Amino acid sequence: MQRFPYGKTFVLGFGFFGISIIWPLFNSLIPPMLEDLGLSAVVVGFILTWDNIINMFVQPWVGSRSDRTRTRIGRRKPFLILGAPMAALFFILVPFVRENFILIGTAILCTNIGMAIFRTPTVAYLGDLFQPKDRSKANGVINLMGGLGAAVALFGGGALYKIGVPLPFIVGSGVMLLAIGVVLIFVHEPELEEEGPDQESTPGLWDNIRQVASGPDKNGIYLLAAIFFWFVGWNAIEAFFTIYARQVLEIEVGTGTQMLTAFAATLVLFAIPSGLLATRIGRKPTILIGLSGMFLGLVLGFFIRDATVLLILLAIMGIFWAFININSLPMVYDLGGEESIGAYTGLYYFSSSAAAITGPILGGWLIDLTSHSWLWVFSAIFIGLAALSMTRIQVKGTVQQG
Protein backbone atom coordinates (compact mmCIF):
# COMPACT_ATOMS: atom_id res chain seq x y z
CA MET A 1 0.00 0.00 0.00
CA GLN A 2 1.46 3.35 -1.07
CA ARG A 3 2.17 5.77 1.77
CA PHE A 4 0.48 9.13 1.78
CA PRO A 5 2.93 11.84 0.57
CA TYR A 6 2.88 14.18 3.55
CA GLY A 7 6.05 16.00 2.47
CA LYS A 8 4.66 16.95 -0.94
CA THR A 9 1.38 17.95 0.67
CA PHE A 10 2.99 20.32 3.18
CA VAL A 11 4.99 21.97 0.38
CA LEU A 12 1.80 22.54 -1.59
CA GLY A 13 0.25 23.88 1.60
CA PHE A 14 2.49 26.95 1.36
CA GLY A 15 0.23 28.14 -1.46
CA PHE A 16 -2.76 28.03 0.88
CA PHE A 17 -0.63 29.60 3.62
CA GLY A 18 0.12 32.55 1.34
CA ILE A 19 -3.51 33.02 0.30
CA SER A 20 -4.65 32.76 3.90
CA ILE A 21 -2.23 35.45 5.05
CA ILE A 22 -3.91 38.14 2.95
CA TRP A 23 -7.65 37.53 3.36
CA PRO A 24 -7.89 37.65 7.17
CA LEU A 25 -5.97 40.94 7.18
CA PHE A 26 -8.13 42.25 4.35
CA ASN A 27 -11.42 41.30 6.01
CA SER A 28 -10.53 42.47 9.51
CA LEU A 29 -8.48 45.63 8.96
CA ILE A 30 -10.05 47.26 5.90
CA PRO A 31 -13.70 47.50 7.13
CA PRO A 32 -12.82 49.89 10.01
CA MET A 33 -10.86 52.04 7.54
CA LEU A 34 -13.93 52.28 5.32
CA GLU A 35 -16.16 53.03 8.30
CA ASP A 36 -13.78 55.84 9.32
CA LEU A 37 -14.49 57.45 5.92
CA GLY A 38 -18.09 57.86 7.09
CA LEU A 39 -19.54 55.02 5.01
CA SER A 40 -22.64 53.13 6.17
CA ALA A 41 -22.48 49.42 7.02
CA VAL A 42 -24.26 48.44 3.81
CA VAL A 43 -21.76 50.43 1.71
CA VAL A 44 -18.85 48.87 3.60
CA GLY A 45 -20.41 45.47 2.96
CA PHE A 46 -20.76 46.26 -0.75
CA ILE A 47 -17.09 47.27 -1.06
CA LEU A 48 -16.09 44.03 0.65
CA THR A 49 -17.94 42.15 -2.09
CA TRP A 50 -15.87 43.61 -4.91
CA ASP A 51 -13.39 40.76 -4.70
CA ASN A 52 -16.19 38.25 -4.97
CA ILE A 53 -17.85 39.99 -7.90
CA ILE A 54 -14.47 39.76 -9.63
CA ASN A 55 -14.02 36.16 -8.47
CA MET A 56 -17.35 35.08 -9.96
CA PHE A 57 -16.06 35.89 -13.41
CA VAL A 58 -12.26 35.77 -13.22
CA GLN A 59 -11.69 32.64 -11.11
CA PRO A 60 -13.90 30.26 -13.12
CA TRP A 61 -12.39 31.54 -16.37
CA VAL A 62 -8.83 31.30 -15.03
CA GLY A 63 -9.49 27.78 -13.71
CA SER A 64 -10.82 26.59 -17.06
CA ARG A 65 -8.08 28.46 -18.94
CA SER A 66 -5.36 26.90 -16.80
CA ASP A 67 -6.71 23.42 -17.64
CA ARG A 68 -5.91 24.23 -21.28
CA THR A 69 -2.61 26.07 -20.73
CA ARG A 70 0.66 24.44 -21.75
CA THR A 71 4.01 26.06 -20.90
CA ARG A 72 7.48 24.83 -20.01
CA ILE A 73 6.85 25.68 -16.34
CA GLY A 74 3.40 24.08 -16.25
CA ARG A 75 -0.20 25.09 -16.72
CA ARG A 76 -0.87 26.64 -13.28
CA LYS A 77 2.38 28.48 -12.50
CA PRO A 78 2.06 31.31 -15.08
CA PHE A 79 -1.04 32.51 -13.24
CA LEU A 80 0.78 32.44 -9.88
CA ILE A 81 3.64 34.47 -11.34
CA LEU A 82 1.23 37.09 -12.70
CA GLY A 83 -1.29 37.39 -9.87
CA ALA A 84 0.70 37.18 -6.62
CA PRO A 85 3.03 40.18 -7.18
CA MET A 86 0.11 42.29 -8.39
CA ALA A 87 -1.93 41.48 -5.29
CA ALA A 88 1.02 42.14 -2.96
CA LEU A 89 1.85 45.53 -4.47
CA PHE A 90 -1.65 46.98 -4.24
CA PHE A 91 -2.34 45.46 -0.81
CA ILE A 92 0.70 47.32 0.53
CA LEU A 93 -0.71 50.57 -0.88
CA VAL A 94 -4.06 50.27 0.96
CA PRO A 95 -3.08 51.83 4.33
CA PHE A 96 -1.12 54.64 2.69
CA VAL A 97 -4.15 55.87 0.73
CA ARG A 98 -6.83 55.08 3.32
CA GLU A 99 -7.94 58.69 3.75
CA ASN A 100 -8.95 59.03 0.09
CA PHE A 101 -11.94 56.97 -1.04
CA ILE A 102 -10.95 56.87 -4.73
CA LEU A 103 -7.39 55.78 -4.02
CA ILE A 104 -8.23 53.15 -1.39
CA GLY A 105 -11.01 51.86 -3.66
CA THR A 106 -8.53 51.49 -6.53
CA ALA A 107 -5.99 49.70 -4.31
CA ILE A 108 -8.68 47.32 -3.01
CA LEU A 109 -9.92 46.61 -6.54
CA CYS A 110 -6.46 45.83 -7.92
CA THR A 111 -5.62 43.65 -4.91
CA ASN A 112 -8.78 41.67 -5.61
CA ILE A 113 -7.92 41.20 -9.29
CA GLY A 114 -4.42 39.96 -8.47
CA MET A 115 -5.73 37.45 -5.91
CA ALA A 116 -8.39 36.21 -8.33
CA ILE A 117 -5.79 35.50 -11.01
CA PHE A 118 -3.70 33.07 -8.95
CA ARG A 119 -6.05 31.61 -6.34
CA THR A 120 -7.92 29.03 -8.44
CA PRO A 121 -4.77 27.60 -10.14
CA THR A 122 -3.15 27.27 -6.70
CA VAL A 123 -6.14 25.42 -5.26
CA ALA A 124 -6.43 23.25 -8.40
CA TYR A 125 -3.17 21.53 -7.43
CA LEU A 126 -5.22 19.52 -4.92
CA GLY A 127 -6.95 17.81 -7.83
CA ASP A 128 -3.83 17.66 -10.01
CA LEU A 129 -1.53 15.96 -7.54
CA PHE A 130 -3.76 13.64 -5.49
CA GLN A 131 -6.02 10.70 -6.20
CA PRO A 132 -9.72 11.02 -5.21
CA LYS A 133 -9.30 8.74 -2.19
CA ASP A 134 -6.51 10.95 -0.82
CA ARG A 135 -8.06 14.37 -1.39
CA SER A 136 -9.82 14.82 1.95
CA LYS A 137 -6.65 13.86 3.80
CA ALA A 138 -4.55 16.10 1.55
CA ASN A 139 -7.01 18.96 1.93
CA GLY A 140 -6.74 18.54 5.70
CA VAL A 141 -2.96 18.99 5.57
CA ILE A 142 -3.22 21.88 3.11
CA ASN A 143 -5.87 23.65 5.13
CA LEU A 144 -3.79 23.15 8.25
CA MET A 145 -1.23 25.31 6.48
CA GLY A 146 -3.95 27.73 5.39
CA GLY A 147 -5.34 27.92 8.90
CA LEU A 148 -1.85 28.48 10.26
CA GLY A 149 -1.51 31.35 7.81
CA ALA A 150 -4.82 32.82 8.96
CA ALA A 151 -3.86 32.48 12.63
CA VAL A 152 -0.48 34.13 12.03
CA ALA A 153 -2.18 36.91 10.05
CA LEU A 154 -4.86 37.60 12.65
CA PHE A 155 -2.66 37.49 15.75
CA GLY A 156 0.46 39.00 14.22
CA GLY A 157 -1.54 41.45 12.12
CA GLY A 158 -3.47 42.66 15.13
CA ALA A 159 -0.23 43.22 17.04
CA LEU A 160 1.46 44.97 14.11
CA TYR A 161 -1.61 47.17 13.58
CA LYS A 162 -1.21 48.52 17.11
CA ILE A 163 2.40 49.48 16.31
CA GLY A 164 1.70 51.03 12.92
CA VAL A 165 -1.28 50.70 10.58
CA PRO A 166 0.77 49.91 7.41
CA LEU A 167 2.88 47.17 9.05
CA PRO A 168 0.46 44.21 8.72
CA PHE A 169 -0.08 45.06 5.05
CA ILE A 170 3.65 45.23 4.29
CA VAL A 171 4.62 42.14 6.28
CA GLY A 172 1.59 40.17 5.09
CA SER A 173 2.38 40.85 1.43
CA GLY A 174 6.01 39.86 1.90
CA VAL A 175 5.11 36.58 3.61
CA MET A 176 2.58 35.79 0.87
CA LEU A 177 5.19 36.25 -1.84
CA LEU A 178 7.67 34.01 0.00
CA ALA A 179 5.04 31.29 0.39
CA ILE A 180 4.03 31.40 -3.27
CA GLY A 181 7.73 31.31 -4.16
CA VAL A 182 8.04 27.98 -2.33
CA VAL A 183 5.21 26.56 -4.47
CA LEU A 184 6.76 27.86 -7.69
CA ILE A 185 10.13 26.31 -6.89
CA PHE A 186 9.25 23.02 -5.23
CA VAL A 187 5.85 21.91 -6.59
CA HIS A 188 6.28 19.85 -9.75
CA GLU A 189 3.20 19.72 -11.95
CA PRO A 190 2.33 16.37 -13.55
CA GLU A 191 3.47 16.02 -17.14
CA LEU A 192 0.74 16.55 -19.71
CA GLU A 193 0.48 16.05 -23.42
CA GLU A 194 1.34 19.02 -25.60
CA GLU A 195 -1.53 20.88 -27.21
CA GLY A 196 -3.50 18.59 -29.47
CA PRO A 197 -6.84 16.86 -29.95
CA ASP A 198 -7.10 15.76 -26.32
CA GLN A 199 -6.61 19.30 -25.08
CA GLU A 200 -9.08 20.71 -27.58
CA SER A 201 -11.71 18.27 -26.30
CA THR A 202 -11.24 19.39 -22.67
CA PRO A 203 -14.60 20.66 -21.38
CA GLY A 204 -14.73 24.40 -20.82
CA LEU A 205 -16.28 26.34 -17.97
CA TRP A 206 -19.73 26.64 -19.53
CA ASP A 207 -19.70 22.96 -20.49
CA ASN A 208 -19.23 22.09 -16.82
CA ILE A 209 -21.91 24.54 -15.70
CA ARG A 210 -24.36 22.97 -18.14
CA GLN A 211 -23.38 19.49 -16.99
CA VAL A 212 -24.08 20.31 -13.33
CA ALA A 213 -27.31 22.21 -14.07
CA SER A 214 -28.93 19.94 -16.67
CA GLY A 215 -27.71 16.45 -15.80
CA PRO A 216 -30.05 13.86 -14.27
CA ASP A 217 -27.90 13.78 -11.12
CA LYS A 218 -28.78 16.86 -9.02
CA ASN A 219 -26.06 16.28 -6.41
CA GLY A 220 -23.99 19.05 -7.96
CA ILE A 221 -26.77 21.62 -7.64
CA TYR A 222 -27.44 20.72 -4.00
CA LEU A 223 -23.73 20.77 -3.12
CA LEU A 224 -23.07 24.14 -4.78
CA ALA A 225 -26.21 25.50 -3.07
CA ALA A 226 -24.95 24.27 0.30
CA ILE A 227 -21.56 25.90 -0.31
CA PHE A 228 -23.34 29.14 -1.22
CA PHE A 229 -25.47 29.10 1.94
CA TRP A 230 -22.72 28.33 4.45
CA PHE A 231 -20.41 30.96 2.99
CA VAL A 232 -23.21 33.55 3.11
CA GLY A 233 -23.49 32.77 6.81
CA TRP A 234 -19.82 32.88 7.72
CA ASN A 235 -18.77 35.75 5.42
CA ALA A 236 -21.36 38.04 7.00
CA ILE A 237 -19.87 37.38 10.45
CA GLU A 238 -16.27 37.70 9.25
CA ALA A 239 -16.89 40.95 7.36
CA PHE A 240 -18.37 42.77 10.35
CA PHE A 241 -16.76 41.07 13.34
CA THR A 242 -14.17 43.78 14.08
CA ILE A 243 -16.89 46.44 13.83
CA TYR A 244 -19.13 44.27 16.06
CA ALA A 245 -16.28 43.96 18.55
CA ARG A 246 -15.76 47.71 18.62
CA GLN A 247 -19.45 48.65 18.80
CA VAL A 248 -20.91 45.88 20.99
CA LEU A 249 -18.02 44.41 22.99
CA GLU A 250 -16.29 47.83 23.23
CA ILE A 251 -12.82 46.53 22.44
CA GLU A 252 -10.16 47.76 20.01
CA VAL A 253 -10.12 46.77 16.34
CA GLY A 254 -6.72 45.10 16.78
CA THR A 255 -8.03 43.06 19.72
CA GLY A 256 -11.11 42.05 17.73
CA THR A 257 -8.82 40.87 14.94
CA GLN A 258 -6.83 38.81 17.43
CA MET A 259 -10.03 37.22 18.79
CA LEU A 260 -10.61 35.60 15.42
CA THR A 261 -7.26 33.84 15.94
CA ALA A 262 -9.08 31.38 18.21
CA PHE A 263 -11.32 30.34 15.32
CA ALA A 264 -8.36 30.03 12.94
CA ALA A 265 -6.27 28.14 15.51
CA THR A 266 -8.78 25.35 16.05
CA LEU A 267 -9.31 25.17 12.29
CA VAL A 268 -5.58 24.46 12.07
CA LEU A 269 -5.64 21.86 14.84
CA PHE A 270 -8.61 19.96 13.40
CA ALA A 271 -7.77 20.25 9.69
CA ILE A 272 -6.07 16.86 9.47
CA PRO A 273 -8.46 15.10 11.91
CA SER A 274 -11.44 16.30 9.84
CA GLY A 275 -9.94 14.76 6.70
CA LEU A 276 -9.29 11.51 8.56
CA LEU A 277 -12.84 11.53 9.94
CA ALA A 278 -14.27 11.97 6.43
CA THR A 279 -12.13 9.06 5.23
CA ARG A 280 -13.73 6.90 7.92
CA ILE A 281 -17.40 7.99 7.98
CA GLY A 282 -17.76 9.86 4.67
CA ARG A 283 -17.64 13.48 3.56
CA LYS A 284 -21.36 14.20 3.79
CA PRO A 285 -21.79 13.08 7.44
CA THR A 286 -18.65 14.98 8.45
CA ILE A 287 -19.90 18.19 6.82
CA LEU A 288 -23.33 17.78 8.45
CA ILE A 289 -21.69 17.45 11.88
CA GLY A 290 -19.82 20.67 11.16
CA LEU A 291 -22.92 22.53 10.05
CA SER A 292 -24.81 21.44 13.17
CA GLY A 293 -22.03 22.72 15.42
CA MET A 294 -21.78 26.03 13.54
CA PHE A 295 -25.55 26.55 13.78
CA LEU A 296 -25.55 26.06 17.54
CA GLY A 297 -22.52 28.33 17.96
CA LEU A 298 -24.10 31.16 15.99
CA VAL A 299 -27.31 30.96 18.03
CA LEU A 300 -25.29 31.16 21.26
CA GLY A 301 -23.24 34.05 19.87
CA PHE A 302 -26.37 36.19 19.68
CA PHE A 303 -26.66 36.16 23.49
CA ILE A 304 -22.99 36.52 24.49
CA ARG A 305 -21.60 39.93 25.48
CA ASP A 306 -18.44 38.85 27.27
CA ALA A 307 -15.31 38.89 25.10
CA THR A 308 -13.66 35.98 26.91
CA VAL A 309 -16.71 33.72 26.59
CA LEU A 310 -17.05 34.67 22.93
CA LEU A 311 -13.38 33.83 22.41
CA ILE A 312 -14.02 30.31 23.73
CA LEU A 313 -17.10 29.97 21.52
CA LEU A 314 -15.13 31.03 18.43
CA ALA A 315 -12.51 28.39 19.23
CA ILE A 316 -15.19 25.67 19.38
CA MET A 317 -16.80 26.91 16.16
CA GLY A 318 -13.43 26.67 14.40
CA ILE A 319 -13.48 22.90 15.00
CA PHE A 320 -16.83 22.52 13.27
CA TRP A 321 -15.80 24.84 10.44
CA ALA A 322 -12.86 22.52 9.79
CA PHE A 323 -15.28 19.61 9.30
CA ILE A 324 -17.08 21.65 6.64
CA ASN A 325 -14.23 23.42 4.92
CA ILE A 326 -11.81 20.52 4.56
CA ASN A 327 -14.25 18.21 2.80
CA SER A 328 -16.30 20.48 0.53
CA LEU A 329 -13.79 20.93 -2.31
CA PRO A 330 -13.01 17.19 -2.57
CA MET A 331 -16.78 16.59 -2.90
CA VAL A 332 -16.90 19.12 -5.76
CA TYR A 333 -14.04 17.30 -7.52
CA ASP A 334 -16.02 14.07 -7.28
CA LEU A 335 -18.59 15.63 -9.62
CA GLY A 336 -16.22 16.06 -12.58
CA GLY A 337 -13.53 14.21 -14.46
CA GLU A 338 -9.81 14.58 -13.90
CA GLU A 339 -9.49 16.72 -17.04
CA SER A 340 -11.72 19.45 -15.54
CA ILE A 341 -10.06 20.00 -12.15
CA GLY A 342 -9.44 23.70 -12.82
CA ALA A 343 -12.95 24.28 -14.16
CA TYR A 344 -14.58 22.58 -11.17
CA THR A 345 -12.35 24.54 -8.81
CA GLY A 346 -13.75 27.59 -10.59
CA LEU A 347 -17.34 26.38 -10.01
CA TYR A 348 -16.57 25.99 -6.31
CA TYR A 349 -15.30 29.55 -6.16
CA PHE A 350 -18.17 30.80 -8.31
CA SER A 351 -20.58 29.55 -5.65
CA SER A 352 -18.51 30.76 -2.70
CA SER A 353 -17.89 34.14 -4.35
CA ALA A 354 -21.60 34.64 -5.00
CA ALA A 355 -22.11 33.94 -1.30
CA ALA A 356 -19.41 36.36 -0.29
CA ILE A 357 -21.18 39.06 -2.30
CA THR A 358 -24.53 38.28 -0.74
CA GLY A 359 -23.40 37.84 2.88
CA PRO A 360 -21.80 41.25 3.59
CA ILE A 361 -24.44 43.21 1.64
CA LEU A 362 -27.42 41.54 3.33
CA GLY A 363 -25.60 41.52 6.66
CA GLY A 364 -24.81 45.24 6.39
CA TRP A 365 -28.40 45.98 5.42
CA LEU A 366 -29.63 44.03 8.46
CA ILE A 367 -27.23 45.90 10.75
CA ASP A 368 -28.48 49.25 9.44
CA LEU A 369 -32.08 48.18 10.12
CA THR A 370 -31.53 46.55 13.52
CA SER A 371 -28.22 46.16 15.35
CA HIS A 372 -24.91 44.36 15.00
CA SER A 373 -26.09 41.52 17.25
CA TRP A 374 -28.72 40.28 14.79
CA LEU A 375 -25.92 39.28 12.43
CA TRP A 376 -25.56 36.06 14.44
CA VAL A 377 -29.18 35.07 13.77
CA PHE A 378 -28.82 35.94 10.09
CA SER A 379 -25.79 33.66 9.79
CA ALA A 380 -27.47 30.83 11.70
CA ILE A 381 -30.38 30.84 9.25
CA PHE A 382 -28.06 30.42 6.27
CA ILE A 383 -26.05 27.68 7.96
CA GLY A 384 -29.38 25.88 8.51
CA LEU A 385 -30.21 26.22 4.82
CA ALA A 386 -26.82 24.73 3.98
CA ALA A 387 -27.54 21.73 6.20
CA LEU A 388 -30.91 21.26 4.49
CA SER A 389 -29.24 21.28 1.05
CA MET A 390 -26.64 18.75 2.18
CA THR A 391 -29.34 16.33 3.31
CA ARG A 392 -30.64 16.22 -0.28
CA ILE A 393 -27.36 14.88 -1.67
CA GLN A 394 -27.44 11.18 -2.55
CA VAL A 395 -23.99 9.86 -1.67
CA LYS A 396 -22.22 7.32 -3.83
CA GLY A 397 -18.68 6.24 -4.59
CA THR A 398 -15.99 8.74 -3.62
CA VAL A 399 -18.58 11.35 -2.71
CA GLN A 400 -19.35 9.28 0.33
CA GLN A 401 -15.88 8.20 1.27
CA GLY A 402 -12.95 10.56 1.70
The model's pLDDT over 86-130, given as tens digits with 9 standing for 90+, comes to 999 999 999 999 888 899 999 999 999 999 898 888 888 887 788
Distance CA 194, CA 328 (A): 32
**Treating both helix axes as pointing N-terminal to C-terminal, what angle do 135-163 and 307-333 enclose, rounded to 10 degrees?**
140
For residues 363-369, average pLDDT: 84
Q: Looking at residue 229, what is its pLDDT? A: 95
Q: Looking at residue 205, what is its pLDDT? A: 55
Distance CA 399, CA 362 (A): 32
Q: Looking at residue 357, what is its pLDDT? A: 81
Q: How far apart are the first and last CA of the chain?
A: 17
| CATH code for the domain in which residue 181 is found | 1.20.1250.20
Q: What is the pLDDT of residues 321-338, one digit of tens each?
A: 999 988 888 887 776 555
Q: Could you give the number of structural domains in the chain?
A: 1
The amino acid that residue 75 corresponds to is R
Q: 299 versus 74: which is more confidently predicted?
A: 299
Q: Looking at residue 113, what is its pLDDT? A: 92
Q: Looking at residue 197, what is its pLDDT? A: 40
Confidence check: pLDDT of 181 > 90 = yes
Q: Looking at residue 340, what is its pLDDT? A: 58
Find the domain containing 50 and state its range: 6-187+202-396
Distance CA 261, CA 258 (A): 5
Q: What is the pLDDT of residues 298-311, one digit of tens each?
A: 999 988 888 889 99
Residue 196 belongs to a domain: no
Compute the mean pLDDT over every residue in the chain, rounded to the nearest whole number.
83
| Residue 196 pLDDT class (50, 70, 90 cuts) | very low
Q: Looking at residue 204, what is its pLDDT? A: 52
Look at phi and psi of residue 100 and say left if phi exceeds 0, alpha if psi is from -120 to 50, else beta.
Answer: beta
Q: What is the pLDDT of residues 206-219, one digit of tens each?
A: 666 666 666 556 77
Residue 287 belongs to a domain: yes
Give which of 347, 333, 320, 316 is closest to 402, Cα–Cα.
333
Residue 402 belongs to a domain: no
Q: Looking at residue 28, what is its pLDDT? A: 80
Q: What is the pLDDT of residues 138-180, one digit of tens each?
A: 888 887 888 788 878 877 887 888 888 899 999 999 999 999 9
Residue 401 belongs to a domain: no
Q: Looking at residue 210, what is its pLDDT? A: 67
Q: Looking at residue 171, what is its pLDDT? A: 93
For residues 340-359, average pLDDT: 76
Distance CA 400, CA 402 (A): 7
Q: 298 versus 395: which is more confidently predicted?
A: 298
Residue 183 belongs to a domain: yes
pTM: 0.70
Give which of 280, 289, 283 is closest to 316, Cα–Cα.
289
What phi and psi, each to the nearest 5 degrees, are found at residue 22? -75, -50
For residues 25-34, average pLDDT: 86
Distance CA 259, CA 35 (A): 20
Distance CA 279, CA 221 (A): 23
Q: What is the pLDDT of residues 44-73, one digit of tens each?
A: 878 877 887 887 778 777 877 887 778 888
Confidence check: pLDDT of 312 > 70 = yes
| Residue 198 pLDDT class (50, 70, 90 cuts) | very low
Residue 254 belongs to a domain: yes
